[in-house]
Amino acid sequence: MANRFALGAPGVFRVPSTPVRGLGGVRMDVCAFAGIAPRGPARVPVRDELWPEDRPWTEAGRPVLRSVAVPVEGWDEYRRLYGGFEGPGLLPYAVAAFFAQGGRRAYVVRIVHEYGAAEPPPADPLETNGGGVAAGVVPGALTSGGGALRLRARDEGSWGNGLTASLGFSLQPLAFDAATTTAEEVAVPFGTELWPGTLLRLWLPGGVRLFRFVSAVREEWHPDTGERVVFGTLEATAGAVPLRTEVVEGTLSVDDGDGRAERHERLGLSSFHPRWMATALCTDSALVFPAPEWSNADLRPIDPELRRAAAPSAPQFAGGVDRWEKVVPADFFDPDWVPDDEERRNGVQAVVDATEVAMLAAPDLYSPGPLAPPQTFAGPVSLAGATFRPCVNLPAGGPTPQGTAPPGLDGLALDPEDPADLAKIVALQQALVDFAERQRTFVALLDVPPGLRHRQILAWRARFGSSYGAAYHPWLRMLGPDDRRPAPVLVNPSCVAAGIIARRERAFGVPFGPANELAAGVVDVAVKVTPGQHDELHPAAINVFLPERDGVRLMGARTLSRDPSFRQLSVRRLMTMLRLVLQRQTQWMVFEPNDRTLRETIRQSLLVYLRQLYVGNAFRGATEQEAFFVHCDEALNPPPVVDAGRLIAEVGVAPAEPLEFIVLRIARDGDGTLRVEG
């Protein structure tokens, strides 16, 4: 047998045992949110082996993903990508509430409308499926065809109308060998960075300056010195040998007028350049895309002096439109999705590839009512001056609210108090739970529709029966950070619960029930649940938020399962975690020798992992034998199974359920003594 360790002096050496492959937990504190945002990634061009990213992503035939799941790790990052509270949707409130409760990581899916055959998309790929993308001209350069340098906002929405962009140029002197440089090519020392597509500004006799692109680069030995020389062939003759040569590179500055700014430096001005401006904007910018008409062209500065062009007097970008009113509930789902489909999908199905997601919430799945319009307030009027003057009594009333309401979510408007609309809401929520049950990697968090009476809530609950769903009631009044709305907004309780679940999981682990926690930032509840109502709602698996002296507390952590074994959300999440660990961390078994050694290794790995969970109070039972078992032996794997290339292991666990009820018995003795027994 070959030695697996270094031998030293003669003696007896112990052969080290093969380490047992360990199993570890998976993250269960990540929530995905799908809803309406003023801006953010949507209709993103596909990048794969058929559509690579080393060229601009603006080809006419390149497909786009209407929905993408993007991870964010804080409110500031969310606001940078998706905007604030200026839109009509509840998505920003949901994400803000999640992070306020202690959530650390979320995935966001911006929902936009899927335009059908009745609404044909324009031919421009950046306006695919309805447009609404702002565009503007950047002065200072023209395309090789004489057209303007046009940019598009990264995604649709009126936010793009506030964009400004300016193009500047940087110069770097280029040392060249005057003896071998001609009007057709420039000779530079070996090691000089010179690529095809590099733009040169040539100084010719008589003060003439002109621009030339390097069309090809080659290396040769200098005929006199014997040293290697790099020759850059010019696209067209300069007419004379240049006296001076400079490399010209672009610098593009972009600002959206809302605190987001970018500066892209050392940009190439030809599609052959390794840092071609169009490709660099596609890969590096979060604000703009290149317009398709120049993505494979060349750009030439207009001014030989390379002075920065004056900014346009009128708004530079225009055409961005918020099309929130066109979004309908069907846009939240991909009708073509099937489990284990490798194709990228839209709507909530976009989270399939986000393997971290353990919870799913759709705060804008329907709109029970419009939000109040944001307000801006005029500052206090001041008549102060340099001289004393008589006092003036200002009119009472204080600042005057200004601003208009943004367009509402007309296509998502459903009234829970209308029986027909309530049936549609239930169908949408059932579709969300069905998706979670078919995916089996996360739990769908639902909201009891607002405005329902107590008996209607119980009837609503009866429509669900899956452990992959959990329901929360009532809706909560919250104020978002930097929100300009005049009063607290009714926010989905499921999104607040998602943050509480994440906080409890990070603090104590999955086995502990994610309830009995105060909700941070909640001002009040939409409706107060009476003790009698709570006595009926809790057994019915409606997780209730109750106002207390110290705040609003989440009082339940149950699923919508009809199976008593999975009534607790902690049990569902624990079993999901176990399945994911075994599914994702045992792939190394494939193509291993299917023998007794492999079976024993698997058994030991599972025992070690389950023992760790047992010590962490994940299982009930006085001993390990009562808490879990692992079978992986010859009885489960007889010769026919082994010959078929299969291996079978059985794992059984007894999950511990969280304590929900404390029963005390108060007894009064004959002498008046009180005894409390529990």
Q: Which of 259, 285, 318 is the last residue of a domain?
A: 318
In a domain, 569, yes or no: no
Give pLDDT tens digits for 81-127. Answer: 999 998 999 999 999 999 999 999 999 999 999 887 556 544 454 45
In a domain, 300, yes or no: yes
Q: How far is the C-alpha of 520 from the C-alpha of 99, rounded, in Å? A: 10
Q: Which of 318, 336, 359 is the last residue of a domain?
A: 318
Query: What's the domain count of the chain?
Result: 2
Mean pLDDT of 638-663: 83
Which two tokens mark 542?
């409606």
**Proportion of the chain in helix, strand, coil states, percent, rounded to 5:** 25, 25, 50
At 649 the three-state DSSP class reads: coil
Q: Are 555 and 546 in contact (CB under 8 A)?
A: yes
In a domain, 363, yes or no: no
In a domain, 608, yes or no: yes
**pLDDT greater than 80 at residue 386:** no
In a domain, 462, yes or no: no
Q: How far is the C-alpha of 465 from the C-alpha of 385, rounded, in Å? A: 71
Give pLDDT tens digits for 574-592. Answer: 999 999 988 888 888 888 8
In a domain, 206, yes or no: yes
H runs (alpha helix) in 556-623 = 569-584, 596-615
Amino acid sitting at position 210? L
Q: What is the pTM of this model?
A: 0.86
The pLDDT score that the predictor gives to residue 21 is 66
The pLDDT score that the predictor gives to residue 398 is 43
β-pair partners for 41: none
Q: Are 244 and 235 in contact (CB under 8 A)?
A: no
The pLDDT score that the predictor gives to residue 278 is 94
In a domain, 600, yes or no: yes
Burial track 253-288 (b if 16+ CB lie within 10 A, e otherwise): bbbbebebebebeebbbbbbbebbbbbbbbeebebb
Torsion of the alpha carbons at 549, 552, 553 and 556, rounded to the nearest 10:
130
> In whole angstroms, how far apart are CA 235 and each of 97, 185, 211, 216, 298?
58, 9, 10, 8, 12
Q: Which of 284, 318, 352 is the last residue of a domain?
A: 318
In a domain, 115, yes or no: no
At 119 the three-state DSSP class reads: coil
List the domain range (segments joined by +) for residue 661.
596-678
Q: Band of the pLDDT at 397, cuts 50, 70, 90? A: very low
Q: At what angle do helices 493-508 and 91-101 cross, to 10 degrees?
A: 30
Give pLDDT tens digits for 569-578. Answer: 999 999 999 9
